[in-house]
Amino acid sequence: MTASGALNPTPGSLYVVATPIGNLDDISARALKVLNDVALIAAEDTRHSARLMQHFGIGTPLAACHEHNERDHGGRFLARLLAGDDVALISDAGTPLISDPGYHLVRQARAAGITVVPVPGACALIAALSAAGLPSDRFIFEGFLPAKTVGRRARLEQVKEEPRTLIFYEAPHRILECLVDMQAVFGAERPAVLARELSKTFETLKGLPLAELQAWVEADSNQQRGECVVLVAGWQAPEDDAAVSSEAMRVLDLLLKEMPLKRAAALAAEITGVRKNLLYQAALAQQKDA
Quick: pLDDT tens for 43-85: 999 999 999 999 999 999 999 997 767 666 568 899 999 999 9
Question: Are 116 and 132 contained in the same domain?
Answer: no
Question: Are 154 and 111 contained in the same domain?
Answer: no
Q: Which pLDDT band, with edges at 50, 70 and 90, does 99 fall under?
A: very high
What is the pairing mode between strands 191-196 and 228-232?
A: antiparallel
Asked if residue 258 has pLDDT above 80, the reply is yes
Stronger pLDDT, 75 or 8, i.e. the higher one: 75
Question: Are 105 and 35 contained in the same domain?
Answer: yes
**Contact partners, residue 125, CB within 8 Å, separation at least 6:** 98, 141, 167, 169, 229
Q: Is residue 2 part of a domain?
A: no
Q: Is residue 71 part of a domain?
A: yes
CATH number for position 81: 3.40.1010.10
Average predicted confidence (pLDDT) for the chain: 91
Q: Which pLDDT band, with edges at 50, 70 and 90, does 1 fall under?
A: low
Q: Which pLDDT band, with edges at 50, 70 and 90, does 161 fall under?
A: confident
Question: Are 24 and 103 contained in the same domain?
Answer: yes
CATH number for position 224: 3.30.950.10
Domain final residue, candidates 96, 122, 148:
122
State the greatest distance between any 2 C-alpha atoms of the chain, in Å, as a whole number. 76
Q: Is residue 199 part of a domain?
A: yes
Question: Are 135 and 48 contained in the same domain?
Answer: no
Q: Is residue 87 part of a domain?
A: yes
Question: Are 134 and 118 contained in the same domain?
Answer: no
Question: Are 67 and 40 contained in the same domain?
Answer: yes
Q: Can you give the pLDDT at residue 282? A: 86
- Parent domain of 260: 239-289
CA-nearest of 140, 124, 137 to 194 is 124
Domain final residue, candidates 122, 141, 174:
122
Q: Which pLDDT band, with edges at 50, 70 and 90, does 111 fall under?
A: very high
Q: Is residue 5 part of a domain?
A: no
Beta bridge partners of 144: 169
Question: Are 258 and 285 contained in the same domain?
Answer: yes
Question: Are 221 and 244 contained in the same domain?
Answer: no
Asked if residue 247 has pLDDT above 90, the reply is no
Q: Can you give the pLDDT at residue 36? A: 98
Q: Which pLDDT band, with edges at 50, 70 and 90, does 276 fall under?
A: confident
Asked if residue 234 has pLDDT above 80, the reply is yes
Tell me how far apart the alpha carbons of residues 72 and 74 are, in angstroms, rounded to a whole number.
Answer: 6
Whether 180 and 188 have beta carbons less than 8 Å apart is answered as no
Number of domains comprising the chain: 3
| Amino acid making up residue 167 | I
Sign of CA dihedral 216, 220, 221, 224: negative
Q: Quick one: average pLDDT of 168-195?
A: 97
Q: Is residue 6 part of a domain?
A: no
CA-nearest of 121, 100, 105, 97 to 13 is 105
Asked if residue 217 has pLDDT above 60, the reply is yes
Question: Are 133 and 112 contained in the same domain?
Answer: no
Domain final residue, candidates 72, 96, 122:
122
Q: Can you give the pLDDT at residue 288? A: 75
**Contact partners, residue 225, CB within 8 Å, separation at least 6:** 172, 196, 197
Question: Are 131 and 143 contained in the same domain?
Answer: yes
Q: Is residue 158 part of a domain?
A: yes
Question: Are 130 and 82 contained in the same domain?
Answer: no
Q: Can you give the pLDDT at residue 244? A: 75
Q: Is residue 8 part of a domain?
A: no
